[in-house]
Amino acid sequence: MILFDRVTKVYPNQMVALSGLNLHIQPKEFVTIVGASGAGKSTLIKLLTREEVHTSGKIIVGGLDYDTITSRDVPLVRRRIGVVFQDFKLLQGRRVGENVAFALEVSGARNREIKRSVPKMLQLVGLASKEQAFPSELSGGERQRVAIARALIRQPKILIADEPTGNLDPKNAWEIIELLLKINRFGTTVLLTTHNKEIVNALKRRVITINRGRIIKDEEQGRYTLEGGK
Amino acid sequence: MLQLWRVLHAGTRNFMRNAWLSTAATAVMTITLTIVVISFISNSALTSTIKGVTDKIDVSIYLNDNVTSAQLTQFQQALQNDSNVKSVSYRSKDQALAIYKAENKNNETVLQGLQFAGNPLPASFQIQAKNPKNLQSIVAIANQPPYQSMLDPTAPPSYSGQNKDTINRIVRVADFFKSGGLIASIVFVIISTLIIFNTIRMAIFTRREEIEIMKLVGATKWFIRGPFIFEAALYGIIAAFIALAFSYSLLLGGGPKLSSYIDVQSTIMFFRSYPALVILGELVIGICIGAFSSMMAMSRYLKL
């Protein structure tokens, strides 16, 4: 599903963010990526969503070789990957339903299709009753659920969750992780980055530890081994 | 089609959301387009006024009585070959006398005097110029050696009416207004371009979060840019209608008062005959200014 073959990313200021990184993620896997700040996690995600372009090596996602894509293809690449962030990135002026519908609107979906799929997706994330609410009326956990619904509405094969629990209390954080596990059971590959030691250890899933742009540990039922985890 | 509709919808919503900025940008655009229309109106009115006046200017070249008909033909040909000459007509001594008599038919003294003097009036060429501002070239032909000897020594070439100086002054004033209108139009087009540039820049800034989300969920570049272009074009569209309504009512209201000085009737006729052309022209100018400024702002501040 995701293949990184000796991928290096050097930023224009000569900062080496990833250095010859090799990574292979199978379809339907649930993978947690841990690493200290500046280890290269964000760069890894930005390369996947094509916000950044790798300097050398090969990236293949869902059979698509990133060396062959042009700037015109970038929106199509992003539609194949769902992403959620720590700060939710919701449109504050739009209702929950409209926020979720937005991802379908930009890809040219018909209104009838939008009307049919948005309530279903909100039901999946447990927000069926909040379709008409504005993000400011929701709790942090609920906002993250909206973001997840928006990321999933186009049924991507891959969901990237970049510190999705960073702004949430433990109860809400666990609810989000459970939702991600549920999504993974339905067949979506989930890539999670987190600093939350308890979550990583409780998941008992594959954990990849990155340090200074390289993978230093890759365990099938990994644990959080970095200093300073929450 | 659905995507286009969504882009237009988003553009209109952004326009409404930024009500104050949109109003300011539309107002400046309205002033610009009004100046463009008024400049067009005055240009067209002045041109038709000047044409009316200058059509009446002609040059008379008086001939002495000894010119043969062969010489006449040669002289007339030479005049006609001049690029500034529109038409040359020959007026014989008899025709000149007849015209003079007709002009003085109520003046017994003059008529009686003519009976004693015979026909003192010279034959002449009546020449109409294409460009009345440059009559000297025509006179210069007459003053060349083969033709100079045919001229009436007592009557140098003259310009019809004694109004040439006045007419020249009118032409100069009209030219001044025409170029003034053009300069004002250009200046205001630049001003409104800058103001819309800034309006769109601010819109990009206030909507940067929305733009980021659009990128995140896979919106194409044109889906993100489209609303900004349409928003700016909307300033132009609204301004075009206001400017046209204002200028046209000004033309209708002020026309009768101005008609004794300049010819506004032909401009009003033009507006009435080609309303679609006028509206379309104004819309195209407005939309182009808006779209161009917006694209300039995006190329600097909207990195996708």
**How crowded is the C-beta side of B129, counted as CA atoms within 13 Å?**
20
Q: Between the CA of residue B111 and those of B98, B101, B106, B108, what are the distances in Å?
A: 11, 7, 9, 5
Buried b / exposed e across A162-195, counting CB within 10 Å, b at 16+? bbbbbbbeeebbbbbbebbeebbeeebbbbbbbb
| ipTM (interface pTM) | 0.80
pLDDT of residue A46: 93
Beta-carbon separation of B215 and A89 below 8 A? no
Higher pLDDT, A159 or B146: A159
Q: Which residues of B touch A159 (CB under 8 A)?
A: none
Q: A106, A115, A121: best mutation site toward chain B, by most B Cβ within 10 Å?
A: A106
pLDDT at B259 over 90: no
Token pair in block for residue A3? 């293949």
**C-alpha B3: how far from its chain's center?**
42
Q: A189-193 and A30-34: which strand pairing?
A: parallel
pLDDT tens for residues A147-172?
999 999 988 999 999 999 988 898 89
**E runs forming strands in B182-242:** none
Q: Tell me the domain boundaries of chain A.
A: 2-89+156-219
Q: Of A10-14, A181-185, B85-89, where does mean pLDDT reach its minimum?
A: B85-89
The full DSSP string for A148-195 is HHHHHTT--SEEEEESTTTTS-HHHHHHHHHHHHHHHHTT-EEEEE--
Nearest chain B Cα distance for residue A78, angstroms: 5
Work out the percent of chain B whose per-residue pLDDT is above 90: 15
Average pLDDT over residues A103-116: 90
Q: Give the CATH superfamily of A2-89+156-219.
A: P-loop containing nucleotide triphosphate hydrolases (3.40.50.300)
Q: Tell me the domain boundaries of chain B.
A: 2-52+167-301, 58-159
Give the H/E segment covering residue B86.
strand B85-91
Give the H/E segment covering residue B251.
helix B221-258
- Under 8 Å between Cβ of A96 and A132: yes
Band of the pLDDT at B61, cuts 50, 70, 90? confident
Rg over CA atoms, chain A: 17
- Under 8 Å between Cβ of B194 and B289: no
Other Cβ atoms less than 10 A from the Cβ of B298: the count is 22
pLDDT of residue B160: 57
- Under 8 Å between Cβ of A127 and A118: no
Band of the pLDDT at A229, cuts 50, 70, 90? low
pLDDT at B277 over 70: yes
Beta-carbon separation of A77 and B218 below 8 A? yes
Mean pLDDT of chain B: 83
| Residue for token pair 């690493």 | A35
pLDDT of residue A26: 94
Measured CA to CA, the distance from residue B214 to residue A96 in angstroms comes to 16
pLDDT of residue B163: 56
∠ Cα B288 B294 B297 (to 5°): 140
3-class secondary structure per residue, B44-60? HHHHHHHHHHHCCCEEE
The reply to whether the predicted model has a pTM over 0.80 is no
Query: What are the residues facing B89 on neighbouring strands?
Result: B126
Band of the pLDDT at A227, cuts 50, 70, 90? low
Q: Which residues of A touch B217 (CB under 8 A)?
A: 78-79, 102-103, 106-107, 150
CATH architecture of B58-159: 2-Layer Sandwich (3.30)
Higher pLDDT, B283 or B1: B283
Token pair in block for residue B231? 């928003």
Please give the single-letter amino acid code of residue A136.
S
Q: Which residues of B touch A78 (CB under 8 A)?
A: 215-218
pLDDT tens for residues B105-117?
888 887 777 777 7
Beta-carbon separation of B213 and A89 below 8 A? yes
Measured CA to CA, the distance from residue A59 to residue A55 in angstroms comes to 11
Beta-carbon separation of A105 and B209 below 8 A? no
